[in-house]
């Protein structure tokens, strides 16, 4: 890795909240919590979360097609 710690001390840097590597404050973006992130890290995480949500939605739809819920029928009680 081409990184000099002394060079990082000269610039205003912080750690990316996603990957943990240094990110320059001048070029960093912020996530939902206001933490500094690399643009590439944020985009990658956003795409991964979206894909995960879509997969869960497709799995739910598939399960509901395999096991559809039928309405409950109320039978009157008689003695």
pLDDT tier at 79, thresholds 50, 70, 90:
low
**Contact present, 14 and 24 (Cβ < 8 Å):** no
Residue 10 has a pLDDT of 61
17-59: pLDDT as tens digits: 999 999 999 989 999 999 999 999 999 999 999 999 999 999 8
Averaged pLDDT for residues 1-22 = 75
How many Cβ atoms from other residues are within 10 Å of residue 41's Cβ?
A: 19
Residue 44 has a pLDDT of 96
pTM over 0.75: no
**Contact present, 23 and 37 (Cβ < 8 Å):** yes
Question: How many angstroms from the chain centroid is the CA of residue 4?
Answer: 31
Q: Return d(Cα 28, Cα 11) in angstroms, integer.
A: 13
């Amino acid at each position: 890795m081409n990184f000099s710690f002394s060079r990082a001390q000269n610039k205003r840097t912080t750690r990316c909240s996603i990957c943990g590597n240094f990110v320059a404050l001048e070029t960093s973006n912020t996530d939902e919590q206001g933490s500094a992130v690399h643009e590439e890290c944020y985009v990658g995480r956003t795409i991964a979360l979206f894909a995960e949500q879509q997969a869960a939605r497709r799995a739910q739809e598939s399960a509901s097609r395999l096991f559809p819920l039928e309405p409950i029928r109320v039978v009157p009680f008689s003695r």
